[in-house]
Amino acid sequence: MTRDPWHFRRDQLAEQVLGTLARGPAQALSLFAPRRAGKTEFLIQDLAPHAETRGHRVIYASFWQAPLSPLAVLLHALEKSRESGGLADRVRASAWKVAPKLKLSASIPGTGTGAEAEIDLTRLKGEPPANLLLHLDDLLGRVSKTGKPTILLLDEVQELARNRGNASLVAALRTSLDKRQEGLRAVFTGSSRAGLAAMFSDREAPFFHFATPIDLPALGTGFVDHVVAVFRKTAKRRLDRAGMVDAFDRLHRNPYFLRLLVQRILYDPEHTVGSALEDVRERIATELGYPEAWLGLTPLQRETARALAAGASRPFSQDFRGALGAALGGDAPSAARVQAALRRLERLGIVDAARGVWELADPGFGGWIAAGGEDPE
């Protein structure tokens, strides 16, 4: 396996996460971090190889904007996991890319197909068929391994909670995992605290209190030093380290954003860290859709988000509402109107109260808003 030279290894964290998973008491962890903070990279490039060298089988499935239904994604990941090689290689190999037809490893009752049945994954829409849920359970049973539990990495799992149509799949998955407490462990990731809360903190949800929640720790100056060193090797030029440390902070310690910045300097030697930072900020805003999200808000929603981004809390207080009124050129809105604005912002994934206070869900978006956002005019 050829490693990406820019990848900064997180061995200690991988060890820690694997230890927590293996020891329990929880059978699962839920790992939160904002968009582009390095969840997937950690799962595939750090945690998976680490677990594999210790004899665990690792299976990865991502529910993020998948063109296929979650059931199809899971069936595909489980069937493919039976192929040889490590996870990182399987992910890299083009053969791993989702093909519409999947050969099943067992015959499925009721489908009229014999062993080696082939199903068209793109047709698995809507309510999951009961026979395929049974096949899913059978597959999970076959990969389960007592003593060296198999590790399921389920990425962007909040997508499962978004759609009621997934309820029976989520319930089936919970039952399948419960049956194999000794042989299966899971890491769920999400980039929405509210979405993860809907999966794991809602009393009605099948996965209520199933996973120990952890935040993916932000990368530190070790990561910046690594990037500075790889740059020197690649470009035979030096980067201003202090400038890079400062830029990393300004980019909310987001590794993807820092790598974009370095690419800019790599391809255009005229750039300084400062000028590249300006460029990258615009690119990030566009790529993550900040301007569209911002312009889609009503003035009250926008001012509410702006006040939260500026650090105000207690949105129902007289002060907060008075400031909103002043910004909108009118009277202070009622607490009920502020509440409605917050609920809408929450549904859009822009704010959440998962940590006990209302705040911007994505610090990058918060920073962009606090820096002025973009006027609708």
CB of 151 to Mg ion, least distance (A): 17
Q: Which residue has the tokens 């566009």?
A: 286
Q: Residue numbers of the site for Mg ion (CB under 5 A)?
A: 39-40
Residue 39 or residue 302: which is nearer to Mg ion going by CB?
Answer: 39
Residue 38 or residue 315: which is nearer to ligand ATP going by CB?
Answer: 38
Choosing among Mg ion, ligand ATP, none, which partner's interface includes residue 145 (Cβ < 5 to 8 Å by kind)? none
The secondary structure of 57-114, three-state, reads CEEEEECCCCCCCHHHHHHHHHHHCCCCCCHHHHHHCHHHCCCCEEECCCCCCCCCCC
Residue 193 or residue 271: which is nearer to Mg ion going by CB?
Answer: 193
Q: Pairing relation of β-strands 101-103 and 118-120? A: antiparallel
Rounded to whole angstroms, the Cα distance separating 201 from 355 reads 12
CB of 355 to Mg ion, least distance (A): 21
Contacts 24+ apart (CB under 8 A), 333-339: 333/300, 337/300, 338/300, 338/304
Choosing among Mg ion, ligand ATP, none, which partner's interface includes residue 255 (Cβ < 5 to 8 Å by kind)? ligand ATP
Residue 155 or residue 303: which is nearer to ligand ATP going by CB?
Answer: 155
Residue 39 or residue 90: which is nearer to Mg ion going by CB?
Answer: 39
Q: Residue numbers of the site for ligand ATP (CB under 6 A)?
A: 6-8, 10, 33, 35-41, 64, 191, 255-256, 259
Q: What are phi and psi of 274, to 5 degrees?
A: -65, -45
Whether the link from the prior residue into 25 is cis, omega within 30° of 0, is: yes
Choosing among Mg ion, ligand ATP, none, which partner's interface includes residue 338 (Cβ < 5 to 8 Å by kind)? none
CB of 136 to Mg ion, least distance (A): 23
DSSP assigned state of 44: I
Residue showing the smallest CB distance to Mg ion in the complex: 40
CB of 187 to ligand ATP, least distance (A): 12
Tokens linked to 136: 């899913």
CB of 314 to ligand ATP, least distance (A): 30
Residue 14 or residue 133: which is nearer to ligand ATP going by CB?
Answer: 14
Rounded to whole angstroms, the Cα distance separating 26 from 137 reads 20
Residue showing the smallest CB distance to ligand ATP in the complex: 38
